Amino acid sequence: MAVSGGGDYSCGLKNDGSIVVWGSPYGDVPEPNSGFTMISGGWSHILGLKADSSIVAWGEDAHGECNVPEPNSGFVAVASGGAHSYGLKADGSIIAWGYRDGGACTVPEPNTGFIAVATGATFGLGLKAGGAVVAWGENRDGQCNVPAPNAGFVAISGGAYHSLGLKADGTIVAWGRNDDGQCDIPAPNADFVAIAAGGYHSLGLGNLSPGGACCHADGTCTYRPQAECEPPNVYQGDGTICIPNPCPPGGACCQPDGTCTVTTQANCPPPHVWQEHPADCLASQRSCRDHFLLDRQSVLQ
């Protein structure tokens, strides 16, 4: 049903409401391991939300990140940070506990109207019902400086020291530390439906526009609408994708005059001679000339 990654481990929520953890010493999920509806992995602790709206926390607890405040009820979402934790209540307020230095547990007023919560290493993000993002905590890298216009957001995610926001128009906004390109969203920045920020990287799930795999003469493939896959390119059908590559390999097609074109074997009928490797006419030009020169010499003899 869901997955979440922590500092050096991963966890998964099964359809039966149980949680599986691997890659860390925090795999002993408190019993009963059932009835979970949401998980969130922090640096070294895990939060699980139960169907009864209570939170279960386990792992390292040096800063109280696993001490869920009372009353432990009425929660609808959870988010685990470096050494702090958040719980979103049904009334739209956020409860924070754990490591407090830097202000990670100081939710700005008014602490109401939130519909989602996320956290980074030492900061927090809250999404308001109106589409604005509220950020608080450590801000050395600008991870709490939400770019204008701060409106139209539908999802948020926090990395170690950077933040992501998904807009209603399908674009992603990123801010904060960018020394590894984690805020450089590849073009086209459009048609995204979900986001996730890792420690020093970012992910966006795209909603593929109508189209399919378009095979080119050199055997490469691009995803595009059928109208943009014009001959001699070959359209593979609506919904087909380029991974794995469905296209026949391209190669060098030697022509009787010794010249060469890159195409598929099907488009290189006799008397042309097709060479699958290399699919590069610069490398194959000499062999093309040699082939037809030897062929002419054999005819003359």
What's residue 301's pLDDT? 47
Interval 168-222: pLDDT, tens: 999 999 999 999 999 999 988 988 889 999 999 999 988 767 788 899 888 888 8
What's residue 296's pLDDT? 46
Burial 45-69 (b: 16+ CB within 10 A, else e): bbbbbbeeebbbbbbbeebbbbebe
What's residue 277's pLDDT? 59
Show the tokens assigned to 148. 């204008």
What's residue 145's pLDDT? 98
What's residue 40's pLDDT? 97
Show the tokens assigned to 293. 């020169």
- Contacts for 296 with CB less than 8 Å, ≥ 6 apart: none
Give me the domains of the chain, ranges plus CATH numbers: 2-206 (2.130.10.30), 208-247 (no CATH), 249-301 (no CATH)
Burial class (CB in 10 A: 0-12, 13-18, 19+), 143: buried
Task: Give whole-number Cα distances, 209 to 89, 165, 206, 227, 240, in Å.
Answer: 36, 21, 9, 13, 12
**Ranges in the chain, pLDDT < 50:** 294, 296-301
- Contacts for 76 with CB less than 8 Å, ≥ 6 apart: 49, 53, 88, 89, 90
What's residue 193's pLDDT? 85
Contacts of range 33-41, beta carbons closer than 8 Å, 24 or more positions apart: 37/13, 38/2, 38/13, 38/77, 38/78, 39/2, 39/3, 39/4, 39/11, 39/12, 39/13, 39/78, 40/4, 40/78, 40/79, 40/80, 41/4, 41/5, 41/6, 41/7, 41/9, 41/10, 41/11, 41/80
Interval 68-79: pLDDT, tens: 999 999 999 999
